[in-house]
Amino acid sequence: MSSIYNKAIVLAALKHLIGERNTSVIDTYVHDSYIQHSPMVKDGKAGLLEALEQLKQYPAPASAKSPVVRTIADGKYVMLHMDVAFMGKNVAVVDLYRLENGKLAEHWDATQENAVTEGAAEIRDLHLTASNKAIIAQYFRQPDKALLQPGYQSHSPLPSQDVEVHRIIGEGNFVMVQSSTAAAVYYDIFRLENSLLAEHWQVTQVIPATIPHNNGMI
């Protein structure tokens, strides 16, 4: 499946399953072998269905505005960077999905209250995807101010260099790095211009002492 198709599947699943609380379409969007890494949800399709049923206790958002601020699709991976208002709180969320045969097959996430999500979101320069991913990989190995554009804007500090990088996905001028330490997971999102880092966001979550499955947050 193409990245464009996978992005459309994830956005449709978000709309119907989360936005509309429509659990009847779970088989349409979720793979039978669904793997869960969220620290708040039990494993598998059954665990997701249980969480969605609990979500029905809360009214669907009155606003038609989508919480999705930016989306990156790279092959079988799709990332959503969202600004979610829930129970009187503003929470920045990163959801990362792996798709298989057109369905959601694996899910990771992190949430952080009051983290910045505002900023540019337009995907451009698709021909630079591979080179931009390489630039970010290099920057994570050894941060170098020479890779920063004049006026570079970071909304969060980078994690320390002792993180383990797990995945780097990119689409055009946007690149996301999933990394972790023993204590926390990090999702760093970069916007590049002219092969230089122009803007940076981060969502960080401490790994809870207990989670409802054996898959870990990574």
User: Does one domain contain both 191 and 95?
Assistant: no
- Is residue 50 predicted with pLDDT exceeding 90? yes
| CA neighbor of 200 nearest in space, from 188, 211, 212 | 188
pLDDT band at 204 (very low <50, low <70, confident <90, very high): very high
Instruction: Give pLDDT, residue 64.
Output: 62
**Per residue in 82-140, pLDDT tens?**
999 877 788 999 999 999 999 999 999 999 998 999 999 999 999 999 999 999 999 99
User: Does one domain contain both 171 and 91?
Assistant: no
User: Does one domain contain both 97 and 190?
Assistant: no
212 lies in some domain: no
164 lies in some domain: yes
Instruction: Give pLDDT, residue 85.
Output: 83
**Per residue in 4-17, pLDDT tens?**
899 999 999 999 99
User: Does one domain contain both 88 and 148?
Assistant: no
211 lies in some domain: no
| CA neighbor of 200 nearest in space, from 151, 165, 167 | 151
- Is residue 1 predicted with pLDDT exceeding 80? no
As a whole number, mean pLDDT of residues 177-204 equals: 97
214 lies in some domain: no
Instruction: Give pLDDT, residue 160.
Output: 72
- Is residue 62 predicted with pLDDT exceeding 70? no
* Domain assignment of residue 87, given as a range: 3-113
- Is residue 35 predicted with pLDDT exceeding 70? yes
User: Does one domain contain both 86 and 42?
Assistant: yes
Residue pair 45/66 in contact by the 8 Å Cβ criterion: no
Single-letter amino acid, residue 190: F
As a whole number, mean pLDDT of residues 139-161 equals: 90
Instruction: Give pLDDT, residue 22.
Output: 95
188 lies in some domain: yes
User: Does one domain contain both 104 and 133?
Assistant: no
Instruction: Give pLDDT, residue 109.
Output: 98
pLDDT band at 157 (very low <50, low <70, confident <90, very high): confident
User: Does one domain contain both 109 and 7?
Assistant: yes
Among the candidates 113, 147, 163, a domain finishes at 113
| CA neighbor of 165 nearest in space, from 197, 139, 195 | 139
User: Does one domain contain both 27 and 87?
Assistant: yes
Among the candidates 88, 113, 138, a domain finishes at 113
- Is residue 59 predicted with pLDDT exceeding 80? no
C-alpha–C-alpha distance, residues 156 and 115, integer Å: 8
Number of domains into which the chain is organized: 2
> In whole numbers, what is the pLDDT of the chain averaged over residues?
94
69 lies in some domain: yes
CA-based end-to-end distance of the chain:
24
Among the candidates 79, 113, 147, a domain finishes at 113
E strands, 87-195, where? 89-100, 103-113, 148-154, 164-171, 174-180, 184-193
107 lies in some domain: yes
Considering the entire predicted model, what is its pTM?
Answer: 0.95
- Is residue 209 predicted with pLDDT exceeding 80? yes
User: Does one domain contain both 135 and 98?
Assistant: no
User: Does one domain contain both 56 and 94?
Assistant: yes
CATH of the domain at 17: 3.10.450.50
User: Does one domain contain both 56 and 89?
Assistant: yes
- Can you tell me whether residue 195 is helix, strand or coil? coil
User: Does one domain contain both 86 and 132?
Assistant: no
186 lies in some domain: yes
